[in-house]
Amino acid sequence: MSHYKRYPAYKDSGVEWIGKVPEHWEVKRLRHAAALNPAPEWRELERQQTEYPFLPMEAIGEAGELDVNGRKPLDECRSGYTYFAEGDVVYAKVTPCFENGKGAVIRGLEGGHGFGTTELTVLRATAIDRDYLYALTFADSFRRPGASEMLGSGGLKRVPDEFVRNYRAAIPPIAEQCAIAAGLDRETARIDALIAKKTRFIELLKEKRQALITHAVTKGLDPNVKMKDSGVEWIGEVPEHWEVCRLGSLYREAVRTGDPSLPILSISIHDGITDDELAPEDRDRQIYQIEDRTKYKRVRPNDLAYNMMRAWQGAFGAVAVDGLVSPAYVVAEPSGELRSTYIENLLRTPMAVEEMRRFSRGIADFRMRLYWEYFRDLHVCVPPLDEQDEILVDLSHRGARMERLGETTERSITLLKERRSALITAAVTGKIDLACGYNA
């Protein structure tokens, strides 16, 4: 922040989390500058139209982005959803969305009115610039004390309305507010452009890695190898010496009684099967566990296990350690020499995922199940064992390089987001003078 100008004179704000503010700024409670959760005029809304824009939580970004394309009938909106109008400021009041900065100035509403998730708080500017108000609610000087005042338990903690009403904000004259907001738009746009560029790079890196895996597990590593038609549409041509067969000829279903001394392993869509038991606080969601561990299925290294309901989404993996899995999972044991990690890589290719979806049975996506009798009929291509090992080593080395590059890029994105947040906080607490520009 050293290249930005400071104001010539400061005074104590009397607020611990704000500190000193420019001498000519006011410090006042937010209720004197904005109306909290304004009520809708139902008769006027009924007169205008029968459905309105609707914002679920996922339609609100962490950098002021909005997707206002969702719609909901007005009759449904009466049941307790949050009302807002064009120009209002909204922010997520529930953890962790509040801490992550979800919020925006409402813009682009068809009809000028809309509704959203009940987990939104709405502020309507009455004596403050709306863009400056949004910056205030995004700043750490608002989010940190707000998070400390949350009420509730676990993942349902919320910032109470009383905190917002009584929040003491540093507020400059209106013309200066507008100039600060314009300066923040300019400066954050540069940061956001860098973040978008780096985010796109990570996406391309993931696509490249998937293409690398797909080619390796369906075509091999030798570019000069003689090819043959696999006879399977989703596989296409494969090296001539590879085998094309049903999974049922490579695996048999294994149902082993659980050993109480072994850890309970879990399967995730993106990461496959864990190598140890997750602590309750590390789980993405609370999962009911049976007390009697003998009811679980035992898995051994090199088994392939999958969640019947979510296999087509990627919930499967090669087992690396002795452990237990849910009795609702399917466990497959190799019938001969085979690397299940190779099969996992093959089944994670986009074409194989679609094939697993095609073989799953159910009336809707959330009810689709891949039963063993259908899973075993899936055709795969398999190289000799030594070539499986070569492919896995190659993928491990090249994948690790890409992963390191991705992690480095992710860290740089985190630093840019921290810089963005620090800039906004410094601007709305008067630590830098964005209204006057900055030193070149």
Residues 209-218: tens digit of each pLDDT: 999 999 999 9
Query: Which comes out higher in pLDDT, residue 259 or 239?
Result: 239
User: Quick check: is 265 in a domain?
Assistant: yes
Is 36 in contact with 164 (CB distance < 8 Å)? yes
pLDDT confidence of residue 278: 60
Q: For residues 426 and 46, what is the distance between their CA atoms, to the nearest angstrom?
A: 43
What is the domain count for the chain? Answer: 2
Residue 100 φ/ψ, nearest 5 degrees: -80, -5
Same domain, 167 and 75: yes
Considering 361, 382, 403, which residue would you say is the last residue of a domain?
382
pLDDT confidence of residue 1: 63
User: Quick check: is 398 in a domain?
Assistant: no
CATH number at residue 64: 3.90.220.20
- Three-class SS state of 367: helix
User: Quick check: is 203 in a domain?
Assistant: no
User: Quick check: is 366 in a domain?
Assistant: yes
Query: Which DSSP helix (H) or strand (E) runs through 141?
Result: helix 140-148
**Beta bridge partners of residue 105, listed in sequence order:** 89
Q: For residues 6 and 22, what is the distance between their CA atoms, to the nearest angstrom?
A: 9
| Cβ within 8 Å of residue 101, ≥6 positions away | 62, 63, 138, 143, 421
pLDDT confidence of residue 38: 95
pLDDT confidence of residue 116: 96
pLDDT for residue 280 is more than 80: no
Same domain, 226 and 374: yes
- Three-class SS state of 352: helix
Same domain, 137 and 238: no
Q: How confident is the model at residue 276 (pLDDT cuts 50, 70, 90)?
A: confident
Residues 66-92: tens digit of each pLDDT: 999 999 999 899 888 999 999 999 999
Residues 115-156: tens digit of each pLDDT: 999 999 999 999 999 999 999 999 999 999 999 999 998 778
Residues 162-183: tens digit of each pLDDT: 999 999 999 999 999 999 999 9
Angle in degrees, CA 170, 176, 181, rounded to 5: 85
User: Quick check: is 252 in a domain?
Assistant: yes
User: Quick check: is 277 in a domain?
Assistant: yes
Same domain, 163 and 263: no
pLDDT confidence of residue 49: 86
pLDDT confidence of residue 21: 96
Same domain, 135 and 271: no
User: Quick check: is 402 in a domain?
Assistant: no
Same domain, 149 and 247: no
Same domain, 348 and 245: yes
pLDDT for residue 197 is more than 80: yes
Average pLDDT in the chain: 92
Same domain, 162 and 227: no
Span of 32-36, 162-166, 239-243, 256-260 with lowest mean pLDDT: 256-260
User: Quick check: is 406 in a domain?
Assistant: no
Span of 14-23, 206-215, 248-257, 360-369 with lowest mean pLDDT: 360-369
Query: Which comes out higher in pLDDT, residue 2 or 321?
Result: 321
Take residue 65 and report the two structure tokens written for it. 């982005």
pLDDT confidence of residue 71: 94
Instruction: Say what the pTM is.
Output: 0.83
Is 197 in contact with 58 (CB distance < 8 Å)? no
Residue pointed to by tokens 């914002």: 55
Burial class (CB in 10 A: 0-12, 13-18, 19+), 294: exposed
Whole-number Cα distances in Å, 199 to 3, 58, 194, 210, 431: 27, 18, 8, 17, 30
pLDDT confidence of residue 431: 95
Domain that holds residue 313: 222-382
Residues 335-365: tens digit of each pLDDT: 999 999 999 999 999 999 999 999 999 877 6
Considering 331, 355, 382, which residue would you say is the last residue of a domain?
382
Is 348 in contact with 301 (CB distance < 8 Å)? no
Query: Which comes out higher in pLDDT, residue 366 or 27?
Result: 27
Same domain, 161 and 233: no
Q: How confident is the model at residue 289 (pLDDT cuts 50, 70, 90)?
A: low
Considering 146, 171, 196, which residue would you say is the last residue of a domain?
171
pLDDT for residue 284 is more than 80: no
Same domain, 36 and 150: yes
Percent of the chain's residues with pLDDT above 90: 82
pLDDT confidence of residue 2: 67
Query: Which DSSP helix (H) or strand (E) runs through 381?
Result: strand 379-382
Same domain, 227 and 134: no
pLDDT for residue 281 is more than 60: no
**DSSP-derived secondary structure for 84-139:** EETT-EEEE-BTTHHHHT-EEE----GGGEEEE-TTEEEEEESSS-HHHHHHHHHS
Same domain, 145 and 265: no
